[in-house]
Amino acid sequence: MRSSLYNLSRVVETLAPALIGMPPGGGPWVERKFPAGDPVVEVVGGRAAGKTALIRALYEGYHAFVPTACVDLAEAPYSAVDHGDRDRLDTANASPVTNLLFTVSHQLGYERDGSSRTVAFPRLSPALLVLTAWRPEAPDGEEVWPAQLVTAEEELRSLLAQPNPAPQARQDVIGRWLNALGGVAAGLLPGVPGLQEVLSAATESLLAREGDGGRWTWWRSRLDHLDGDAVQRLFALVRKFRRRGLDRAEVEAHLIAALLADINGAYGYWARKTQHPSLILLDNVDQALRERFLDPLVAQYAQATGEWSGRGRVMLPIVFATSLGNGSDPGLAPTTDAAHWTVPERCPPRSWLLRLGVPRVTDGEIRAMLGDTACPPALPTVIGRLSGGRTGDALLLARAARRRLGEPEPFVLDRLLSLPSPDSPSRVGTRLLERSLPDDAVREEVIRVAPALDSKAAERLLRAAPSVLPGETPDLRVRGLLDSTLKRPHWNHRPWPPERYEDTPLVTDRALRALLLHELRAGADEGRWSGIHAALAAHYNAGDVRLYDSEQHEPRYLHHALAQGRIDTLVVRAMHHRYLRRTPAEWLSDLNLAAAAPPARAGFAPEDPPDPAGLPACSSCGTDADKRVHAAIRRLLAIVWRLSAPLSAVPPGHRDTDMVHVRTTLEVLCADYGNSPRPQRAYNAYVDAIADGGWIDALVNGVQAPDLPVDGR
C-alpha cells in the first residue's frame, strides 16, 4: 500500500503512528511522541505530488480502528471552480464551513455501515441545526424575520422548561424542525448518506435535558459576552451568521471549537488511557478554506489543548490536511526528513501547525518505479524532466513506459508522451495535462499560448484566434491565465536566462511547458505550427528588419524561426552575423535562448550543412576561415537544439560523438575569436564553454538550453 508513496512514505510509517499511537493497519501500541500536544499536520505540494495518495493511505490504514472522517475539499459544496468567487457558496443558512462540519461530524459519528454512533456531538449538532434549520429568507431580501426567531426561542424555552415534556409535544417540535430543514437538505449535504439520521441526532441533542453532558453550560460559558440564556445566545449566533463577513467567521470559529470539545468530551477517564484519538483527513485545502477553516481550527486546537493542560491526556482529533503549493519552499520541512517531527522541543506548543513540503521525486525513486525492466539509460532522466519531479506524473510515465518495454518492438524514447495512458483512453501526454490543468477551457487556452515567450506575444496569438473565453480582451485573458493558473505558487517556476528578458517564457514550469508544446505540436499540421511561430517571431521584428543576416533579429525572434525549421535560411546566417559583432558571452547567451526552441514540425535538421547550392550566400562568409566558422556555428546550434528537446536522451559521456562535435566547434570559435581582429575585445567566454564545468560537462549532466552556463566576465 505504502510503496507507491515514495517521498511521502515516512509520513505514514513514522509521523502518523507517533500521533495516533498505532501503526497503519493496526498493531501494538506506539508511544506518543508529542506529550505537549499533537500538531495539526499540513502537507504541501504541487499537482500530482502524491497528496491524495497519502490521504488514501492514511484512510485505508486507520479507518477500521479509529473514528475517521475523510473529505475532499476540491469537491462541491466546499469548493468553487473559480477560486476567486466564493459568494455563491455562502447562503443565508450555510457556508463551506458548516457543510464541512456536518460532513465531519456525520463520518465520525457513525460506523461504516451507519448502524451505530461512535462519537456524539451534543454541542455542535444543535448549534448547526439552529443555524441551518431556520430559513427566514424574506422575499424583499430582509436579513431575518424577527417573528420567526421569537417563536422558535419561545417554543424551545417552553419545552426545555418542562420537567417531563409530553412525548407527542416533543415529537411535534422535532417534526417541525426537520420540516424546516427539508428544503435546504440537498444543498446542505449533497451526496452525504444518512442525512436524516444526522438531523434527527442534532434535534435530539437540541432538546436534550440540561444534565445530559453539560452542552448548554458549555455554550453559556462560550458565549458569555452575549445576553440571555443558552438558547437565546444560540439564536444570537443565527443573527451574526446571517450578517456574513467577520460576524460569520466568528460564528464558524465557535462551531469549530464545539467540534473539538465534543470529540474530546467523548472520551472518559479510562478511554483516554486505552483508546486512540479520532482522525480527520482533509484533502485539497485551498486558500479560501485555509482562511475559513484550517487557520481557525489550528487556533482552536491550541486553545483547547492549553485549557486541558494538567487534566490528563487531551483527546483532540489527529488532523492531516493537504494543500496545493510549492513543496520545495524553504519554509517547509521536507517529508523525507524525520528529524524534528518527533522532537517535542521543535513541535507544539510553540508551533501548532506542522507544515511539510513534498520534495521532488529523485532519479533513484524513478528507477524504482520502472522496476527490473530493462530500459534505456536516459529514461529515468527524461521521466524526471517531463514530470517536473511530481510523484504522480512520474508514476504514470513509468507505468506507460514499463508496459511498452514489455512489448517486442524497440522502445523509442521520443515517443514516450505518445504512448497509451495506463488509466485512460488518452495518450499519456494528454493525460498528464488533464491532471495538471483539469479545467477543459483553461487547458485549451493555455495550450494555445504555450509557445509565447512573454505576455504581449501571448496576446498576439489570442488576437489572431477565435476566443475561447468570449467577452474578454486578449490582455485581460492573458492576465487572467497568469493570475489564476500559470503564476500559482505550486508550479516549479524557473524563468529563463538571460535576465534582460523579464518574462521569458510565459509558462515557467519546464515540465508543464514541455507537455503543452508537445500537445500543441501533436495536434497541429505543418501550416498551423509554422504559422504560430511566424506570428510570434514577427512580434520581435521591429518592422524594418528584413535581412536574413541582420543582428537586429533578437534571440527570441531566432528562437521562433528555429521552431519553424529555418535553421539554414535564417538562423545560422543571423548567428554568424552576430558572432562578428557580439562578445563571446553575449553570443553564447543568444545561442542558448535560440536553441531552447521546440523541434520544428518536420523534426530537427541534420547536423551536417545541406548543399549550399540551394541557399543564398552568407554575407559573413568572405574567406575559407569564415566558412569554417559558419559550419561550426551550424553544427553547434543543431546539436544543442536537438539535445535540449525534453524527450532527448542525455549524452552518455564525454567521448560521445555529439560531445566531441560540441568540443570541436567551440574550439573553432575560440581560436577564431582569439586570432581575428575585433574593434572591442572582451573576455573569451568560449574558453569557459570548453573547460571543465562548461557546456560539455553540463550536457553530459542533463542540462539543456537555455540553462547552459555562460561566463560573462
Comparison of pLDDT for 134 and 221, the residue scoring more: 221
**Average pLDDT of the residues in 468-486:** 82
pLDDT above 50: residue 453: yes
Model pLDDT, residue 175:
56
What residues does each domain of the chain span? 1-66+276-359, 93-266, 363-435, 525-713
572, containing H or E segment:
helix 572-579
Judge if the upstream peptide bond of residue 165 is cis by omega within 30 degrees of 0.
no
Model pLDDT, residue 62:
92
**CA–CA dist 181, 154 (Å, integer):** 19
pLDDT above 60: residue 152: no
Q: What is the pLDDT of residues 215-246, one digit of tens each?
A: 567 777 777 776 666 666 777 777 788 787 88
Tell me the average pLDDT of the chain.
Answer: 81
* pTM score: 0.83
Q: What is the DSSP string of 236-251?
A: HHHHHHHH-HHHHHHH
pLDDT above 80: residue 311: no
Model pLDDT, residue 521:
92
pLDDT-derived band at 517, boundaries 50, 70, 90: very high
**Average pLDDT of the residues in 147-162:** 53
pLDDT-derived band at 303, boundaries 50, 70, 90: confident
pLDDT above 90: residue 576: yes
Q: What is the pLDDT of residues 357-372, one digit of tens each?
A: 888 888 888 999 998 8
pLDDT above 50: residue 642: yes
pLDDT above 50: residue 114: no
**Average pLDDT of the residues in 630-636:** 95
Dihedral over Cα of 205, 208, 214, 216: its sign = positive
Q: In what order do the strands lie in the sheet with 40-45?
A: 68-72, 279-283, 318-324, 40-45, 353-357, 333-334
479, containing H or E segment:
helix 474-481
Model pLDDT, residue 141:
42
523, containing H or E segment:
helix 510-523
**Average pLDDT of the residues in 451-466:** 87
pLDDT above 50: residue 661: yes
Q: End-to-end CA distance of the chain, in Å? A: 54
**CA–CA dist 535, 462 (Å, integer):** 11
**Torsional class of 50: left (φ above 0), alpha (ψ -120 to 50), beta (otherwise):** left
**Average pLDDT of the residues in 298-324:** 83
**Average pLDDT of the residues in 502-510:** 88
Residue 429 backbone dihedrals phi, psi, to 5 degrees: -65, -40
Most confident of 177-181, 333-337, 617-621, 660-664: 660-664
**Average pLDDT of the residues in 681-691:** 89
**Average pLDDT of the residues in 30-55:** 85
H runs (alpha helix) in 134-166? 146-161
Model pLDDT, residue 203:
58
Instruction: Tell me the one-letter amino acid at 118.
Output: T
Q: What is the pLDDT of residues 580-591, one digit of tens each?
A: 988 999 999 999
Cell numbers found for residue 634:
551550424
Comparison of pLDDT for 655 and 215, the residue scoring more: 655
Q: What is the SS3 assignment for 190?
A: coil
Of 541-555, 637-651, 683-697, the range with the lowest mean pLDDT is 541-555
Model pLDDT, residue 489:
87
Model pLDDT, residue 677:
76
pLDDT above 60: residue 194: no
Comparison of pLDDT for 324 and 352, the residue scoring more: 324
